[in-house]
Amino acid sequence: MPTSLIPAPRGVVAGTGEIRLTDGSGLYAGAGTEGVGRWLGGVLRAATGLPWREARQPAEARGGVRLALATGLGPEAYRLVSDRTGVLVEGGDAAGVLHGAQTLRQLLGADAFRRAPVRRDRVWTVPHLTVEDAPRFHWRGLMLDVARHFMPKEGVLRYLDLMSAHKLNVLHLHLTDDQGWRVEIQRYPRLTEVGSWRARTKIGHRASPLWDDRPHGGHYTQDDLREIVAYAAERHIGVVPEIDVPGHSQAAIAAYPELGNSDVVDTAALTVWDTWGINPNVLAPTEDTLRFYEGVLEEVLELFPADAGPFSPFVHIGGDECVKDQWRASPAARKQIASLGLADEDALQSWFIGHFDRWLAERGRRLIGWDEILQGGLAPGAAVSSWRGYAGGITAARAGHDVVMCPEQQVYLDHRQDAGPDEPVPVGYVRTLEDVYRFEPVPAELTPEERTRVLGTQANVWTEVMEDQGRVDYQTFPRLAALAEVAWSELPAPADRDFPGFERRMTEHYRRLDALGVAYRPPGGPRPWQRRPGVLGRPVDGPPPAV
């Protein structure tokens, strides 16, 4: 059983024997671990049917489970010891205790991930062993795109549970795009009244002739987002919101036409976009636009407090794929360039991003954006999501900026998992489970000092061709389990990684995913209902470039 742990721990020393958990087993949560104790007691009572009485002293939990903080362990690190006295989970902080509790859950078997006991006569045991563990990277994330296809609140909460089970700690929530605005902003109600739904949706790649003619939409109320943030914090996960500017903004312009380049196009005629690709309708680079988005961000900062979890001070502002044709044609934009003494439209985007860089810094927050924001320079506290490959991350690290490595060619989970004809809506390069397992977030050409700028890594799940939870599950799992191990575990160089060993551990992990109700891609290929025959995708042949 210990050899099936995912992500792989740093060290496991097997003992002899096992401890049996019974109706008399207690659960003790020491000072600073009370939240973990409530969570663990809840999931264990549900799955095992055992009462798991709350012990008031460690001795009262003899033969059960004890949770405690321990000096000498680092942030998020834990030690799990199972012997004849019971199970002791110690952490350097509450997050470490939670990670140890998740390991305990794995040791109990796949049925420990269910919401009710499936066998009343089940004997629950934990082998005698010692696990010593700590994460490689601080930022271990998942980017979830809820703008292209809306995921209801319950789905986001479910993904937070799945992330916690894999020891991931950052949810990057992509809340706005051309195809939908998903966050309630009270001072600008039309953002959700108009911007949160579209009349129809392209099925498949933008060249596909197929359409879903049903309206699609949805948004999170401010209380929904407060609940999501609080739920994440209980699991020691930080939520980083993304409000995309100055491109990817047609939904906002459809709601408030004055935000667009109305001297070039009839922005009043624009609707929320119903197809995919890079949209030419971008925000007007004006002071009025800046004031509008300052108002948006003031509410966003209140909804996503800086102390709500790991990396919570960060706010993602996008900054990618801003087509500047309208700016080139706009007299107002050209006047702005001249008045600011800028060289060109690229410098105008840098001015736009730089404004919010300073604005956020003045409020104790940190800006993060896609690697295009490097153009023109950044303030010292800004960070970069390197998506177009490794190059942006390398440039950022060498310039002294923190980096999250998420190159499209490696960890975009909307990309197809196999080259076979049954793969649903094939997008991008083939990225198998093994490919993700051999992904290395830290480029070899960085110096030791520059490598410290790599905060970590995340998988990105873009949902243009993922219309529901089942499709998101299929594209995300099992590859997110491989990314979780890359982010957490101390692995050898990519070519030396024991992928056959990982596959063997995945045999048990698939049973856990089954218990959790995850509609993952089976190792042998998609099930019949997971296919999308006849829906045009955008496959790219050959291996992805290492750029």
Q: Return the active site residues.
A: 177, 248, 321
Distance, in Å, from the CA atom of 4 to the CA atom of 373, rounded to the nearest integer, reads: 41
Q: 374, 535, 511: which is closest to 1 by C-alpha? A: 511
Phi and psi for 383 in degrees, rounded to 5?
A: -125, 165
Residue recorded with tokens 């680092």: 74
Query: Could you identify the residue written with the tokens 């993952």?
Result: 520
Residues 6 or more apart whose CB falls under 8 angstroms from that of 263 comprise 330, 331, 332
Q: Are strands 211-212 and 201-202 parallel, antiparallel or unpaired?
A: antiparallel
Q: Where are the beta strands (DSSP E) in 334-447?
A: 366-370, 383-386, 402-405, 427-428
> CB count, 10 Å around CB of 536?
18
Query: What dihedral do alpha carbons 283, 288, 292, 297 form, nearest 10°?
Result: 90
Sort 411 into a burial class: Cβ within 10 Å, 0-12 / 13-18 / 19+: buried
- Coil/strand/helix, residue 271: coil
d(CA 469, CA 18): 39
| Contact indicator for 316, 243 with CB cutoff of 8 Å | yes
Q: In what order do the strands lie in the sheet with 26-29?
A: 11-21, 124-133, 78-83, 86-91, 65-69, 26-29, 53-54
- DSSP-based three-state secondary structure for 405: strand
Tokens (6 digits) for 446: 């960085």
Q: Is the peptide bond before 500 cis (omega within 30 degrees of 0)?
A: no
Residues 465, 467: Cα–Cα separation, whole Å? 6
Count of residues in the chain: 547
Q: 3-class SS at 373?
A: helix
Q: What does the block give as tokens for 505?
A: 């551990």
Alpha helices, DSSP H only, in 132-201? Answer: 153-165, 190-193
Tokens of 513: 């995913």
At 250, phi and psi to the nearest 5? -65, -30
